[in-house]
Chain A
């Protein structure tokens, strides 16, 4: 293994920010490490982070353990970037492939095919055969579902009221639906 700074001498793994595996080994020869320490670029504990040299700051962004090997092939832009950008955040597929980070909630709609393929391989496997999230939803979502359910019931009642020409009931139902939709929009 060669020193990542001079790329000539044999490196010892100098210091590793190895906290839950999130930043990994850092290979320097003792001379490079010493000269960097002299110039203040390297502190023992922050070698990986505060080093000013570009070689030193280029630490690969680590994926959660074990996921990196699986996710790389799916993320590499095999198919050419269609040029489509997410209207929510302006990110394109090639940027997502590069950073391995999605820009916003709407990206998941725009790039659904590409992302769902990656997700199937990565985290939606063995345990959940459904290939669909089967975990707990947030409270807001449960409330939303209940609300939507109530609104659709009221709509049914409204149709009946219209058919039976019960205009007084129609007016009340319309008000209730409008109130609920308003509350929903605010939320």
Chain B
């Protein structure tokens, strides 16, 4: 089962945890200056090792547009990877939630994405594959800079952590801004995840520091996430009396919209599912599960929606037909 269909740890606050490592092979220029033949050679050599370890290759020239973007919506790849002009390939090990983008900005970008908060497992899954590759390839490395990358932002350990957080109570209390200022002083960055819809109350926390051992970074990052989880929960407990009643009313109304709407845009879905999500964690809503909302967060994105429904490849889908399809899909999943 894909990561977004599995209940995660601390899922009342944390939606997902992703750990990614960037590595390059020393003998080749970085992808910006790489020729097609060398790119193919890298893909074949690295890909061969990955295939021997449960990964499957995805060739973007062989899958539909919707399927390609669906992989991005599921967060296995970045959307820009699809239109990369150099030969490139995705290797996916879906049962282990591992994926590797070969020849994107770096030769290798290996990642694990897990539901909820699970940084230990995500990082060790990635490190295991990285060690295996390390024993077979000569990684670009320098004592001063650490692992050498095409994008200097990853220099050092090449590690990139991102955690999606659901912080409605901290936002209600106007704590997001001071929190993000504090985090930025600690070498982390907290930003709204859906820039067009702050109503989703979903934020992304990433690391900016890459010059420390991975174990130390994981420990430091985990401690910070724990603190954020605690303060979000503390703020939720502050919701009482009249305010509680108003939020309960909004949550049940939102559940009604998700269950009965005939048209549902993605930003509407974000808004209403956020209210339902909060309602579940405050005990107001009991017939919807948090993990279902996380699944829908991915599955009702347009490409995934189209790829799973019929008529997947029709090019001129109007937005109304997508909204219709989304509404009926959400309805179906909620009643199932």
Q: Does B193 count as interface, using CB distance less than 8 angstroms?
A: yes
| Given known contacts A124-B211, A126-B209, A127-B212, A49 and B82 CB-to-CB distance under 8 angstroms | yes
Cα separation A40 to B316 with both chains bound (whole Å): 6
Q: Does A38 count as interface, using CB distance less than 8 angstroms?
A: yes
- Give the A interface residue count (CB, 8 A): 65
Mark each residue of chain B from 125 to 162: 1 if its CB lies under 8 Å from any CB of chain A, else 0. 00000010011011111111111111111111100101
**Would you give the shortest CB distance from B307 to chain A, in whole angstroms?**
9
Mark each residue of chain B from 306 to 322: 1 if its CB lies under 8 Å from any CB of chain A, else 0. 10000000011111001
**CB–CB A105/B26 < 8 A:** yes
Residues of A within 8 A of B220 (CB): 127
Q: Does A88 count as interface, using CB distance less than 8 angstroms?
A: yes
| Given known contacts A23-B80, A45-B302, A91-B33, A115 and B152 CB-to-CB distance under 8 angstroms | yes
**For A23, A44, A70, which residue has the most chain B Cβ atoms within 10 angstroms?**
A44
Candidates A20, A43, A104, A134; contact of B212 at CB < 8 Å = A134
Q: Does B40 count as interface, using CB distance less than 8 angstroms?
A: no
Q: Does B214 count as interface, using CB distance less than 8 angstroms?
A: yes
Q: Does A83 count as interface, using CB distance less than 8 angstroms?
A: no
**Would you give the shortest CB distance from A45 to chain B, in whole angstroms?**
3
Residues of A within 8 A of B131 (CB): 139
Q: Among residues 194 to 248 in chain B, which have CB atoms less than 8 Å away from a CB atom of chain A? A: 194-196, 204, 206, 208-214, 216-217, 220
Name the CB-closest residue of B to A86: B33
**CB–CB B29/A103 < 8 A:** yes
**CB–CB B145/A65 < 8 A:** no
Cα separation A72 to B216 with both chains bound (whole Å): 28
Residues of A within 8 A of B142 (CB): 105, 108, 133
**CB–CB B65/A123 < 8 A:** no
**CB–CB B141/A141 < 8 A:** yes
Cα separation A96 to B69 with both chains bound (whole Å): 29
**CB–CB A125/B204 < 8 A:** no
Mark each residue of chain A from 144 to 158: 1 if its CB lies under 8 Å from any CB of chain B, else 0. 000000000000000
Mark each residue of chain A from 28 to 50: 1 if its CB lies under 8 Å from any CB of chain B, else 0. 00000000011010011110111
| Given known contacts A18-B193, A44-B319, A49 and B79 CB-to-CB distance under 8 angstroms | yes
**CB–CB B213/A134 < 8 A:** yes
**CB–CB A20/B153 < 8 A:** no
Mark each residue of chain A from 62 to 105: 1 if its CB lies under 8 Å from any CB of chain B, else 0. 01111100110000000000000000111100000001111111
| Given known contacts A115-B152, A123-B153, A67 and B208 CB-to-CB distance under 8 angstroms | yes
**Would you give the shortest CB distance from B312 to chain A, in whole angstroms?**
11
Beyond A104-B29, A135-B146, 19 additional contacts (C-beta under 8 Å) are A20-B78, A44-B322, A49-B83, A64-B151, A64-B206, A65-B162, A101-B151, A102-B32, A103-B150, A104-B28, A104-B30, A119-B155, A123-B210, A127-B187, A133-B143, A133-B144, A136-B157, A137-B143, A141-B139
In the complex, 25 of the A-B residue pairs with CB atoms within 8 angstroms, ordered by the A residue number, are A16-B196, A17-B79, A20-B18, A20-B78, A20-B162, A44-B302, A45-B301, A49-B80, A49-B83, A50-B65, A65-B204, A70-B208, A101-B32, A102-B149, A102-B152, A105-B29, A116-B145, A122-B153, A122-B208, A127-B217, A132-B143, A133-B155, A135-B157, A140-B138, A141-B139
Interface residue ranges, A against B (CB under 8 Å): 13, 15-25, 37-38, 40, 43-46, 48-50, 61, 63-67, 70-71, 88-91, 99-105, 108, 115-116, 118-119, 122-128, 130, 132-141, 187
